[in-house]
Structure 1
Amino acid sequence: MAFSRHTEDNLWTLIAAPTVWAFHFLLSYVVAAVECAPNSDIFEPIGGTRLLVAGITVIALVAIGFVLWRSIREWRYHGGGYRHNEDTDLDRERFLEFSTVLLAALSFVGVIFVAMPALTIWDCR
């Protein structure tokens, strides 16, 4: 029984990176809201919250990076290219792989932009 390093892509692999981005967005802003919502001292540093958001960000970037690396590897294995206009299983596979590459890259940048406010703002002002 031979094992292949290549897998078939489907809609689950396509939405994996945007889902991680969405959960990162949700967790980052919930953590910040829990810290800043009491509004008792808006000038108090939020160092612990910033570290937690940084940790969540690193985990999200690693997960999205894995999806991106895997989809690039699969896309290149099938020849790369940008034209997927045939009605074949291979063209559908290549289309899903390239779409996953684009969505994962967008999600990677999105996670960085979501984390920027929490990592650059020192208090709840």
Structure 2
Amino acid sequence: MAGRKKIVPPGEAPRVIDQGSVWILVAAPSIWAAHFLLSYWVAAIWCAKLGRGTPLAEPRWIIAGLGVLCIAAIVGLAALAIRRYGGVFVIFEEITESSERARDRFVGHVALLLCVLSAAAIVFTVIPGMVLGQC
């Protein structure tokens, strides 16, 4: 009996990012990765179509707007990590207790740190678009 999985009725299935789900750990870095790809695709397509020496004024604002949207989504994930999982922004916190609540706090802590790291990565992805003036 110990090796069998509990069958959950369809109405009680957990949401994608819910208590006990590890998807919240993957969400923020995935948002950064999507922003990274979209930013460089926009710049590459812009420069390929219009040629070398073309000003990057228009794609600059597209990349910055995308960055703002992605950071807003990451802030929402950070709020979820704090509210639902009890994540705190304490770097040297030891979680040695082996209980379900301690595991949830650990997931919240890691998710919150990944949100901060992903938001910083998005800012560093936007910087080249703001600094470079032309293709």
Q: Shorter-chain TM-score category?
A: 0.7 to 0.9
Give distance in 1, aligned partners of 2:59 and 2:48.
Answer: 13
CA offset at residue 48 of structure 1? 1.3
Give the TM-score of the pair, scaled to structure 1: 0.82
The counterpart of 1:19, out of the listed 10, 26, 30, is 30
CA offset at residue 25 of structure 1? 0.4
Alignment of 1:1-125 (within 5 A): 8-38=19-49, 40=51, 42-74=52-84, 75=86, 82-124=93-135
- The superposition leaves residues 72-109 of structure 1 with CA deviations (integer Å, 9 ceiling, x where unpaired) of 334269xxx92222221111101000000110000010
Larger of the two Rg values belongs to structure: 2
Give the TM-score of the pair, scaled to structure 2: 0.76
Give distance in 1, aligned partners of 2:87 and 2:54.
Answer: 50
Alignment check: 8 A CA contact 1:45 1:123 kept: yes
Q: Displaced runs of 4+ in structure 1, greater than 4 A? A: none
CA shift in 2, pair 1:110/1:122, >3 Å: same
Q: What percent identity do the matched residue pairs reach?
A: 33
Give distance in 2, aligned partners of 1:108 and 1:89.
Answer: 28
Q: Which has the higher contact order (CA 8 A, sep 6+)?
A: 1
Give distance in 2, aligned partners of 1:97 and 1:82.
Answer: 12
Aligned residues: 114
Q: Runs of 5+ in structure 2 lacking a partner?
A: 1-17
